[in-house]
A and B are shown apart, each in its own frame.
Chain A
Amino acid sequence: MYQSKWRIFTNHTILVLGALFMILPVWIAFASSTHTREYVFQNGLQFWPGGEFFSNYGAILFDAEATKGRVTALEMLFNSMVLGLGFAIGKVIISMMAAYAIVYFRFKLAVPLFWIIFSTLLLPLEVRIVPSYEVVADLGLLNSYTGLILPLIASATGTFFFRQFYRSVPDELLEAARLDGAGPIRFFIDILVPLSVTMIAAIFIIMFVVGWNQYLWPLLMTTDDQLYTIVIGIKQVYNSLYEGGQIPQFPKAFALTIMATIPPVLVVVIFQRMFVKGLVETEK
């Protein structure tokens, strides 16, 4: 499509301004996290990085005292990673299998069951959080990774997406596989899973970010600092900013925030490539 120079210029200006608008707060947080707390307290938010990058980030990562708790940021990152990965992988596996059963097996109530699963989309976690807590507490799973992940692992969204995808796979592939002597499990592993790679990547991205950003659930589930996720950690640090009559820990709070954003961004960047590549190359 032909575009005049003017138009290209205008378009790019708008895009650049939009990008700056999104990036600037992050940049300011990052720049401010590389100064001493006294400097930030006296001079406000900083636009240019200072010389305290290593000491601030080192303290946050390895020194529990700096995060105002009994865990270091590294441990919290690890907890978040476990939650995010467990959440995303678990959801992908469960929803793939649920959709497989719904689409490929003819059993009574398959359709009503699907709609029951689908209707749970109407019940977000917040609505059912008290009964969920009760169940997990009764099972003795409070303060455990299992308790953090397991109750969230079923996914109506994922099941729905996989169902739609499976329905678009030609029946002949199933028939050809049946003639080739592949049973239901072989067909699933050898044919359906490789064909779903793009869907898996897409659901994984979405679910990892959702899992990583979970706040309410981990807050309820964990009373032990050792299981705190980084999102809870940030809240904790900001809470204690003005406590104790010390100079507030602005730089370290910013450093923690910046670190909390890195893993989800990485996941999106890495898997999006795969996602797009898959979209371009897949042919059903």
Chain B
Amino acid sequence: MATVTLNQAQKTYPNGFKAIHGIDLKIEDGEFTVLVGPSGCGKSTLLRMIAGLESISDGEISIDDKVVNKIAPADRDIAMVFQNYALYPHMNNYDNMAYGLKNRGYSKAEIDTKVREAARILQLDDHLERKPRQLSGGQRQRVAMGRAIVREPKVFLFDEPLSNLDAKLRVDMRLEIKNLQQRLGITSVYVTHDQVEAMTLADRLIVMNGGIAEQIGSPIDIYEKPASQFVAGFIGSPAMNFLKGKVSDDKKHVTFGDGVMLDLDYDVEAGREVTVGIRPEHLDLLQDGEGRINAPVRMVESLGAETLVYLDFGANADNVTLRLQGTHQFAKGDQLSLSVPANKIHLFDIDSGKRL
């Protein structure tokens, strides 16, 4: 049980590259925090700084109010699960889980109790005598989690643990991790580039970009009120549509190039150029001619439960996606008539990308 506090934590590599530009964060006891962002955004670096595998260039990281900057990884009372599992290939699964306990001087009997308990929780009882290579990817990942659990650490760190698994297994393991974390109530930090994992697992989500935290909040807050165009584009699948627009003189509408006009529920100065963000699921399909927006179909992807329609918006946007429930039959070139509720429109500054 522990809190993790980051106080202006920074990381500068010896070659001068600044990977983390000072992050403030307080992770509450038992909270599941997810760091999400594209590759190279510094999320893994930040996790490794908490783990102690990367030094902290400036600022402080504390676990339970104790500054850990100078404390060795083994003494921080944390456990980490790696993307490639990092199991010791020459040891059987029992020894893999027991190794950390052995090094900490636990007695054989204690080790045995703890390992068997972890194996029971993770349904690995039958596999303890086997070597990691004799297990499937999912089982290996469970052994890696077992290795973390037996230590009963204050903090769990996950570094993209599901990236090496196939799609179905990833969903199963995701649920299992969430379940396990809730049952054990251990403070967890989880790094992923997969926004579905991020949305489903997180109590609190941290969207990172270029070494800074773009937004910190609950998954739903971030989905509903993205703080920037980057966050808006990163969270949500398919990604949010962005169009160039202009706020009308009466401030009640936003207009696009050829006279399309949408209702607006925003307090923005009249005549301002803006980036308009609309999520694919918030575009409503109406009867012919009833909607404010009319656009031809470029391509259709049927997924069964839903249909993704790509629309041609000409010069106003690169690509606009429409997400519809169920199956729909459209041909290329069909004109669709659409509208968007005023409260589902997001406006961003055209230069800074910040939410208006």
Question: CB of B133 within 8 A of chain A?
Answer: yes
Are A180 and B82 closer than 8 Å at their CB atoms? no
Interface-lining segment among A56-64, A86-94, A187-195, A204-212: A187-195
Interface-lining segment among A37-45, A159-167, A168-176: A168-176
Question: CB of A235 within 8 A of chain B?
Answer: no
Residues 188 to 230 of chain A near chain B (Cβ within 8 Å): 190-191, 194-195, 197
Given contacts A175-B53, A175-B80, A283-B133, contact A180 B86 (CB under 8 A): no
Question: CB of A182 within 8 A of chain B?
Answer: yes
Are B84 and A179 closer than 8 Å at their CB atoms? no
Interface-lining segment among B99-107, B245-253, B317-325, B337-345: B99-107
Q: Which of B72, B78, B86, B104 contacts A176 (CB 8 A)?
A: B86
Q: Which of A182, A195, A284 contacts B103 (CB 8 A)?
A: A182
Tell me the complex Cα distance, A228–B330, Å. 93
Residues 125 to 173 of chain A near chain B (Cβ within 8 Å): 170, 172-173
Question: CB of A240 within 8 A of chain B?
Answer: no
Q: Which of A170, A190, A284 contacts B99 (CB 8 A)?
A: A190
Chain B residues with Cβ below 8 Å from A173 are 86, 88
Are A195 and B89 closer than 8 Å at their CB atoms? yes
Q: Which of B79, B80, B89, B147 contacts A284 (CB 8 A)?
A: B89
Least Cβ distance of B125 to chain A in Å?
Answer: 22
Contact indicator per residue, chain A 271-284, by CB within 8 Å of chain B (1) or not (0) = 00000000000111
Chain B residues with Cβ below 8 Å from A182 are 74, 99, 103
Given contacts A195-B90, A284-B89, contact A178 B73 (CB under 8 A): yes
Number of B residues, CB within 8 Å of A: 24
Tell me the complex Cα distance, A177–B86, Å. 9
Are A179 and B74 closer than 8 Å at their CB atoms? yes
Chain B residues with Cβ below 8 Å from A282 are 89
Chain B residues with Cβ below 8 Å from A284 are 89
> Which residue in chain A gives the minimum CB-CB distance to B98?
A180
Tell me the complex Cα distance, A197–B89, Å. 12
Question: CB of A112 within 8 A of chain B?
Answer: no
Question: CB of B51 within 8 A of chain A?
Answer: yes
Q: Is the interface of B mostly helix, strand, loop or mixed?
A: loop
Are A180 and B133 closer than 8 Å at their CB atoms? no
Given contacts A172-B82, A194-B90, contact A179 B51 (CB under 8 A): yes
Question: CB of A18 within 8 A of chain B?
Answer: no
Least Cβ distance of B79 to chain A in Å?
Answer: 7
> Which residue in chain B gives the minimum CB-CB distance to A186?
B103
Are A172 and B103 closer than 8 Å at their CB atoms? no
Least Cβ distance of A109 to chain B in Å?
Answer: 17
Question: CB of A181 within 8 A of chain B?
Answer: yes
Tell me the complex Cα distance, A170–B87, Å. 10
Are A179 and B89 closer than 8 Å at their CB atoms? no
Tell me the complex Cα distance, A173–B87, Å. 7
Are A179 and B103 closer than 8 Å at their CB atoms? no
Chain B residues with Cβ below 8 Å from A197 are 90
Least Cβ distance of A171 to chain B in Å?
Answer: 9
Chain A residues with Cβ below 8 Å from B52 are 178
Contact indicator per residue, chain B 201-215, by CB within 8 Å of chain A (1) or not (0) = 000000000000000
Q: Which of B73, B83, B88 contacts A179 (CB 8 A)?
A: B73
Given contacts A181-B100, A181-B104, A182-B103, contact A176 B82 (CB under 8 A): yes
Are B89 and A180 closer than 8 Å at their CB atoms? no
Tell me the complex Cα distance, A241–B72, Å. 70
Chain A residues with Cβ below 8 Å from B133 are 283
Tell me the complex Cα distance, A176–B90, Å. 14
Residues 25 to 67 of chain B near chain A (Cβ within 8 Å): 51-53
Tell me the complex Cα distance, A282–B90, Å. 8
Most buried by A among B79, B84, B90, B133: B90
Are B80 and A179 closer than 8 Å at their CB atoms? yes
Least Cβ distance of A181 to chain B in Å?
Answer: 4
Chain B residues with Cβ below 8 Å from A172 are 82-84, 86
Tell me the complex Cα distance, A195–B78, Å. 26
Chain A residues with Cβ below 8 Å from B89 are 195, 282-284
Are B80 and A176 closer than 8 Å at their CB atoms? yes
Are A181 and B86 closer than 8 Å at their CB atoms? no
Tell me the complex Cα distance, A197–B103, Å. 23
Residues 223 to 251 of chain A near chain B (Cβ within 8 Å): none
Chain A residues with Cβ below 8 Å from B79 are 179
Given contacts A181-B104, A194-B90, A282-B89, contact A170 B73 (CB under 8 A): no
19 A-B residue pairs with CB within 8 Å:
A172-B83, A175-B51, A175-B53, A175-B82, A176-B80, A176-B82, A176-B88, A178-B72, A179-B73, A179-B80, A180-B74, A180-B147, A182-B74, A186-B103, A190-B88, A190-B99, A191-B88, A194-B90, A197-B90
List the 3 closest A-B pairs by CB distance, nearest first: A180-B100, A172-B86, A181-B74
Beyond the given A172-B82, A176-B82, please list 4 additional residue pairs across the A-B interface where CB-CB is below 8 A: A173-B86, A179-B79, A179-B80, A283-B89
Q: Please give the residue numbers on chain B whose beta carbons come within 8 Å of chain A beta carbons, in ascending order.
A: 51-53, 72-74, 78-80, 82-84, 86-91, 99-100, 103-104, 133, 147
